[in-house]
A and B are shown apart, each in its own frame.
Chain A
């Protein structure tokens, strides 16, 4: 019993203190993965805030964006042109989704809309792979994948770029939300659909904008993740990893998505490296969920989520 307690509560921390450089590397790795989760979670939050749709297809949108980008570049398009075209494709996709899926389903229950996005998930997956091929592709848009060493800690340039890009993206989004007309309209819709409608905000426009922005976030996530580990089907599975991030951060909070992503990313890596061996490893898959679940029991609306007030 004491041995077990030692192994769970003392030994991992001793390991951490024993080799701080390794510890920092693990944490950095966690931060990078966490940022990726954050980017996907961000797409979720944007759409959920504006339309109440729990968009399960966000992960596949990441895959789809990355596939489109790679496909265009393979056909000889320069990086900038490919990026512009991919953006155009994602905007067209947003229009199509709004027109074909969301509009007929307006006012349906949440679960129906959720189901529709899972249908969308299958459709996009098949469509993307049919259009661009299903084999693993290397995405290289010129971000160096070198490492340098700062006081004994290995730092990867790609990860650094990803971190900076995400930070910039979040700032841009924050400005967009708080300083522009459309951003204000977006927040109005998120607060109260009917009130927003009554002051003349067009819901359909807002939906298109939101899905487009989510598409852009998906492109960024797709580029980062694709540059790290190639563009392949498993990319769409990070959507599942973004879910605990969401419950941790709250479904309606942009900063929540970022902070939640970092906590989950770091927690997962630390858990895997220091506690994983105790139970045979590979705990990354569920560790995040259990952390999020434990958290929910204390704070059901997540870290930054709005407190749900219920009336009969």
Chain B
């Protein structure tokens, strides 16, 4: 009834190829984005912003990055944590070396550094495929973490071995460091992820995205029709690592405040991969849904026993959480192997017919 595209005639190619060709979709997205900018900073308390919304946005950005690589270009990677660490450590080095540079610019620059590292570790993808490649990317993960642990230069010779977000301002407002308010950090994270998602959405529907998908679906056939595998795969690795690098920098500067290499270990890589798969491979929206799922489930599992007035021993709770988390992943994979984004699409199809299903 409400959700119909009847009567919306496209008169230009531009209108036909818009990001959201249906008017209702366009309005819906605009309203959601606007609401995301306005409502939480006014309404949500410190806990919600700090423990839920900021990590959600940061991980959504990382998930978009991995989704470009795994979902669109078909290159399975388990090195996400390592690339995020590159972003975080280079942001730290850059901003301590050049304190006057705008922190947003620092984030983007550290994304570029991560992209460079990603390019190097993407080179094996030209020879090896599938799970062999996944295991090869683990080399990146372990080597990078080891490097940041071993070379004190990366932490400015701090004896604790941690990197700490210094106070930095954007347009005169403090956005990072211990004194920055949660709403400000939230807004920066939201701005970056919104811009990132828009760029990614446009990348994947253009020439680059199509060549990625061609490589993903059948690389030899893609090569025959003129897609160059070398450039295409490396570009995917580079751009994906850029997103992951920015997300890693944000993770330390906007969410954790300070971190050691432990924050970027292999579990981080799996977490982001979970988000991509639960959310939906090859879907930008899916990256957000997956991140929301993976962030919210553990939090609600931790809080659920409190809500019903049950106090469980901490160790038991932890194990219970693991079990339910694993069980939920299995459940969702079995119910909908194509992820939450697919459920969303099915919902939309249903809505178009509603309330007359025939």
Residues of A within 8 A of B (CB): 54, 100-101, 104-105, 108-112, 114-116, 118-127, 129-130, 134, 240, 243-244, 246-247, 251, 279-280, 282-283, 285-286, 289-290, 292-293, 296-297, 300, 302, 308, 310-312
Task: Judge whether B139 and A126 touch: CB under 8 Å.
Answer: no
Contact indicator B139/A289 (Cβ below 8 Å): yes
CB distance from A37 to the nearest CB of B (A): 13
Chain A residues with CB below 8 A from B131, complex form: 54, 110, 114, 251
- Residue contacts A-B, CB under 8 angstroms, 14 given: A110-B131, A115-B273, A116-B330, A123-B326, A123-B327, A123-B330, A126-B320, A126-B323, A293-B124, A296-B124, A296-B128, A296-B132, A296-B136, A300-B129
Interface centre among A100, A122, A285 (most CB of B within 10 A): A122
A305 nearest CB neighbor, chain B only: B132
Q: How far is the CA of A112 from the CA of B329 in the complex (A)?
A: 11
Q: Tell me the bound Cα distance from A292 to B142 in angstroms.
A: 13
> With an 8 A cutoff between CB atoms, is B37 at the interface?
no
- Interchain CB contact under 8 A, A280 and B150: yes
Q: Is B148 an interface residue (CB 8 A)?
A: no
Chain A residues, Cβ within 8 Å of B143: 286, 289-290
Nearest CB of B to A103, in Å: 9
Contact of A122 with B277 in the complex, beta carbons under 8 Å: no
Known pairs A126-B326, A312-B220; A285 contacts B277 (CB<8 A)? no
Decide if B326 touches A312 in the complex (CB within 8 Å).
no
Inside 8 A of A246's CB, which chain B residues have their CB?
135
Measured between alpha carbons, how far is A209 from B189 in the docked complex, in Å? 50
A247 to B76, CA, bound (A): 15
**B323 pairs with A119, CB closer than 8 A:** no
* Residue picked from B135, B224, B329, B334, most chain A C-beta under 10 Å: B135
Report whether A300 and B333 are in contact in the complex, using a CB–CB cutoff of 8 Å.
no
Max count, chain A CB within 10 A of own CB: residue among B132, B277, B322: B132
- Please measure, in the bound complex, the distance between the C-alpha atom of A31 and the C-alpha atom of B220, giving whole angstroms: 41
Quick one: which of B142, B149, B277 has the most chain A CB within 10 A? B142
Specify which chain A residues have a CB less than 8 angstroms from the CB of B318 in the assembled complex.
126
Contact A122 B325 (CB under 8 A): yes
Of chain A, the residue at the smallest CB distance from B324 is A126
Distance of A246 from chain B, by nearest CB (Å) = 7
Q: Are A300 and B127 in contact (CB under 8 A)?
A: yes
Contact between B142 and A297, CB atoms less than 8 A apart: no
With A119-B330, A289-B139 known, 19 other A-B pairs at CB within 8 A are: A101-B334, A108-B337, A114-B131, A115-B333, A119-B328, A120-B326, A122-B322, A123-B322, A125-B319, A125-B326, A126-B323, A126-B326, A134-B319, A247-B136, A283-B146, A285-B142, A285-B146, A289-B138, A296-B128
CB of B119, distance to nearest CB on chain A (Å): 16
Q: How far is the CA of A105 from the CA of B337 in the complex (A)?
A: 8
Q: Mark B263-298, 1 if CB is under 8 A from A, else 0.
A: 000100010011001000100000000000000000
Within 8 A of A (CB), among B304-353: 315-316, 318-330, 333-334, 337
B130 at the interface (CB under 8 A from A): yes
In the bound assembly, the distance between CA atoms of A118 and B321 in angstroms comes to: 15
Whether B281 lies near A122 (C-beta < 8 A) is: no
A280 vs B124: C-alpha distance when bound (angstroms): 27
Interface residue ranges, B against A (CB under 8 Å)? 70, 76, 124, 127-132, 135-136, 138-139, 142-143, 145-146, 149-150, 218, 220-221, 224, 266, 270, 273-274, 277, 281, 315-316, 318-330, 333-334, 337
Chain A neighbourhood of B149, CB < 8 A: 282
The answer on a CB contact under 8 Å between A243 and B333 is no
Interchain CB contact (< 8 A) of A286 among B139, B316, B321: B139
Question: Is there contact, CB below 8 Å, between A297 and B326?
Answer: no
- Measured between C-beta atoms, what is the minimum distance from B211 to chain A in Å? 17
**In the bound complex, how far is the Cα of B73 from the Cα of A3, in angstroms?**
44
The complex places the Cα of A16 from the Cα of B142 at a distance, in Å, of 27
CB closest chain-B residue, reference A297: B127
CB distance B333 to A111 under 8 Å?
no
Q: Whole-angstrom distance from the CB of A182 to the nearest CB of chain B?
A: 26
Q: Chain B contacts of A308 at CB under 8 A? A: 129
Bound CA–CA A38/B325 (angstroms):
30
* Separation of A159 and B225 alpha carbons in the complex (Å): 56
Within the complex, what minimum Cβ distance (angstroms) separates A263 from chain B? 15
Given A282-B150, A285-B146, A115 contacting B136 (CB threshold 8 A): no
User: How far is it, in angstroms, between the C-alpha of A101 and the C-alpha of B139 when the chains are bound?
Assistant: 29
Asked if B333 and A116 make an inter-chain contact with CB atoms under 8 angstroms apart, the answer reads yes
Rounded to whole angstroms, the CA-CA distance of A204 and B337 in the bound complex is 20
B146→A286 contact, CB < 8 A: yes
Contact assessment for B130 and A110 in the assembled complex, using a CB-CB cutoff below 8 Å: yes
Give complex CA distance A107, B70 in Å.
20
Given the complex, which residues of A lie within 8 Å of B324, measured CB to CB?
126
A35 to chain B, nearest CB (A): 20
A279 to B277, CA, bound (A): 37
Assess whether B274 is in contact with A115, with CB atoms less than 8 Å apart.
yes
